[in-house]
């Protein structure tokens, strides 16, 4: 007798969490390629390589920080989140300055820092339901709606080639 084939359906939440994990591992892998002499090299706009990776870490640190503050849902999608965030005057300057300060205060190797921040984010993802509302600076948004914005943050900054060369990094999302 043949048993019916069971089809496993992956939820959107599972796919998003897997994509986030893959993106964080990708960023850590790139950071591992940076030689100590390259952290101060120009990377994007006025940012150094170090500052760019520290900025990318916020994709994880905000998940952990925002999940601890209960709030009401005011944003209904990732698109609405981006519209709210980008509405404010001076947002880019504020992000750039916050990143420079955070990078200057960092007292551990960047790859180790990324591993720690992203591991904390993974722990938060494991214990946080997809429908939990996170208290972001732009307003309350569910984890499932916020997670795509974090994935974008991890892969979007590819405006300029990074200063190291390897076959793997040449084919990466950050350096196509």
pLDDT tens, residue by residue, 46-59: 889 999 999 999 99
Selecting from 2.60.120.260, 3.40.630.30, 3.40.250.10, 1.20.120.450, what CATH number does the domain 12-170 have?
Answer: 1.20.120.450
pLDDT tens, residue by residue, 96-143: 899 999 999 999 999 999 999 999 999 999 999 999 999 998 999 999
Question: Is 30 in contact with 162 (CB distance < 8 Å)?
Answer: yes
Q: Is the pLDDT at 155 greater than 90, yes or no?
A: no
Query: What tokens appear for 16 in the block?
Result: 């998003």
Residue with tokens 């959107």: 12
Q: What is the pLDDT of residue 56?
A: 94
Give the other-Cβ count within 10 Å of 104's Cβ: 10
Question: Is 66 in contact with 122 (CB distance < 8 Å)?
Answer: no
The domains of the chain are located at 12-170
Q: Is the pLDDT at 86 greater than 80, yes or no?
A: yes
Query: Does pTM top 0.85 for this prediction?
Result: no
């Amino acid at each position: 007798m043949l048993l019916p084939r069971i089809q496993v359906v992956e939820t959107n939440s599972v796919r998003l969490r897997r994509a986030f994990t893959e993106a964080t591992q990708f960023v850590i892998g790139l950071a591992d390629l940076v030689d100590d002499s390259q952290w101060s090299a120009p990377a994007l706009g006025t940012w150094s390589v170090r500052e760019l990776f520290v900025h990318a870490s916020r994709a994880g640190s905000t998940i952990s920080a925002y999940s601890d503050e209960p709030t009401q849902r005011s944003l209904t999608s990732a698109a609405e989140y981006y519209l709210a965030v980008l509405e404010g005057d001076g947002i880019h300057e504020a992000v750039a300055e916050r990143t420079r300060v955070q990078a200057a205060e960092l007292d551990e190797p960047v790859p180790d820092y990324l591993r720690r921040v992203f591991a904390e984010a993974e722990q938060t993802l494991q214990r946080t339901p997809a429908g939990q509302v996170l208290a972001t600076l732009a307003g309350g948004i569910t984890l499932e709606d916020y997670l795509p914005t974090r994935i974008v943050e991890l892969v979007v900054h590819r405006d300029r080639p990074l200063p190291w060369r390897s076959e793997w990094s040449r084919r990466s999302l950050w350096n196509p």
